[in-house]
């Protein structure tokens, strides 16, 4: 294990402000707001903390449920529809109602655009995007997941984001869902996204939301904590600032479904005999996952010169 001395977001020395209410789990909060797991596994120790994940299920022919879900996503994200007028009205109504239950978001940007998903698993989302005209590429560390994605005919490589050879200005969209919190330097990853995206390119970053009621209420039982493999934890203002500092314009922040979060939190409280915590003072949002939608700025972010 290693003790973290400096903050990844702002570079200042960590002053030792422990986050309260996390039991024996040691999270330090920098004055800039970033929350850091410290001590944390050193890079050569990290693998042993990940449970073995083996993907063995090849995708089957789409079921009715998966076809409905794929169509709701397409309507939610504004893709061209082939249904008649009545069908379009009904699907749009359904998508605006049910669509908020899932956080997935990949807006339509026209055909033939290049998409990179970092940490794409078996490539289910990439396949959905490919069917809707994206030219898709993925990176994934699980050997079995890469094998399945390749069998689907997807270009998915078993490489880290740091090690992959990705030319500058080569993608129109990058998805990083539940990835940034696992990295030693989220700041460098965001800067790399900025380099490899084309002008006006889209960045979609989803992470657990530390400033949420469920985190306050569940403390170290919070299911998104994933101690110690989540190395960083983000409040909304911190992540927005990091994304902007990397050269992006934040377009919007989407939050996970409040009602589903509440149901899940209550189930966790019951499981750990913590139902009394339901009276925890409301703090943060009820949603505990956030998705930042950002565009590569046309003008690079200007920073003041150090004094
Ligand atoms: Zn900081």
Residue 14 Cα to ligand 1 middle (Å): 7
pLDDT tier for residue 82 given thresholds of 50, 70 and 90: confident
- What DSSP assignment string belongs to the chain? -B---B-TTT-PBP---BPTTSTT--EEE-TTS-EEESSB--GGGGGGGSPP--------SPPHHHHHHHHHHHHHTT----S-HHHHHHHHHHHHHHGGGS--------TT-EEEEES-TTSHHHHHHHHTT-EEEEE---HHHHHHHHHTT-EEE---TTTS---TT-EEEEEEES-GGGSS-HHHHHHHHHHHEEEEEEEEEEEEBSSBHHHHHHGGG-TT--TTT--EEB-HHHHHHHHHHTTEEEEEEEE--HHHHHHHHHHHHHHTT-GGGGGSPP-SBS--EEEEEEEE-SSPPP-PPP-
Which pLDDT belongs to residue 105?
95
Residue 162 Cα to ligand 1 middle (Å): 22
- What DSSP assignment string belongs to 242-287? HHHHTTEEEEEEEE--HHHHHHHHHHHHHHTT-GGGGGSPP-SBS-
- What confidence tens digit (pLDDT) does each residue in 245-269 have? 999 999 999 999 888 899 999 999 9
Question: Hey, what CATH topology would domain 27-296 get?
Answer: Rossmann fold (3.40.50)
Tell me what the mean pLDDT of segment 137-157 comes to: 95
Residue 59 Cα to ligand 1 middle (Å): 43
* Least confident window among 39-48, 112-121, 132-141, 150-159: 39-48
Which pLDDT belongs to residue 304?
52
Tell me what the mean pLDDT of segment 134-148 comes to: 95
Whether pLDDT at 91 is above 80: yes
Output the average pLDDT for the chain.
91
Residue 205 Cα to ligand 1 middle (Å): 20
Residue 227 Cα to ligand 1 middle (Å): 20
Residue 119 Cα to ligand 1 middle (Å): 26
**Token duo for residue 108:** 């339509």
In the chain, domain spans: 27-296
- pTM score, whole prediction: 0.92
Residue 34 Cα to ligand 1 middle (Å): 6
Whether pLDDT at 39 is above 80: yes
pLDDT tier for residue 71 given thresholds of 50, 70 and 90: very high
User: Which is more confident, 108 or 97?
Assistant: 108
Which pLDDT belongs to residue 277?
86
Proportion of the chain above pLDDT 70, given as a percent: 96
Which pLDDT belongs to residue 132?
95
Tell me what the mean pLDDT of segment 169-181 comes to: 97
Which pLDDT belongs to residue 77?
94
Residue 126 Cα to ligand 1 middle (Å): 34
Whether pLDDT at 55 is above 80: no
* Least confident window among 25-29, 110-114, 137-141: 25-29
Residue 30 Cα to ligand 1 middle (Å): 5
Residue 72 Cα to ligand 1 middle (Å): 39
pLDDT tier for residue 307 given thresholds of 50, 70 and 90: very low
Whether pLDDT at 302 is above 70: no
Residue 197 Cα to ligand 1 middle (Å): 26
- What confidence tens digit (pLDDT) does each residue in 198-226 have? 999 999 999 999 999 999 999 889 999 99
């Amino acid at each position: 294990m290693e003790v973290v001395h400096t903050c990844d977001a702002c570079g200042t020395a960590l002053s030792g402000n422990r986050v309260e209410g996390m039991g024996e789990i040691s999270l330090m909060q920098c004055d800039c707001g970033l929350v850091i797991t410290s001590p944390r596994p050193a890079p050569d120790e990290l693998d042993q903390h990940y449970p073995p994940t083996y993907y063995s299920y090849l995708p089957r022919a789409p079921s009715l449920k998966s076809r409905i879900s794929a169509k709701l996503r397409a309507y939610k994200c504004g893709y061209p529809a082939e249904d008649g007028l009545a069908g379009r009205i009904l699907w749009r109504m359904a998508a605006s109602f049910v669509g908020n239950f899932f956080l997935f978001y990949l807006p339509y940007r026209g055909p033939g655009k290049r998409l990179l998903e970092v940490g794409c698993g078996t490539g289910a989302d990439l396949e959905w995007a490919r069917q809707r005209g994206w030219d898709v590429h993925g990176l994934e560390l699980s050997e079995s997941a890469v094998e399945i994605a390749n069998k689907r005919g997807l270009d998915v490589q078993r490489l880290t984001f740091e090690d992959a050879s990705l030319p500058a200005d080569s993608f129109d969209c990058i998805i990083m869902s539940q990835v940034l919190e696992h990295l030693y330097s989220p700041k460098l990853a965001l800067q790399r996204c900025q380099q490899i995206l084309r002008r006006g390119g889209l960045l979609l970053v989803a992470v657990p939301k530390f400033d949420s009621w469920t985190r306050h209420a569940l403390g170290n039982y919070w299911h998104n904590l994933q101690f110690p493999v989540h190395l960083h934890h983000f409040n909304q203002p911190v992540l927005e600032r990091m994304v902007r500092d990397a050269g992006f314009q934040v377009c919007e922040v989407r939050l996970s479904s409040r009602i589903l979060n509440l149901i899940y939190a209550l189930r966790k409280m019951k499981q750990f005999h913590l139902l009394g915590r339901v009276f925890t003072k409301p703090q943060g949002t009820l949603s505990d996952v956030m998705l930042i939608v950002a565009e590569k700025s046309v003008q690079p972010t200007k920073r003041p010169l150090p004094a």
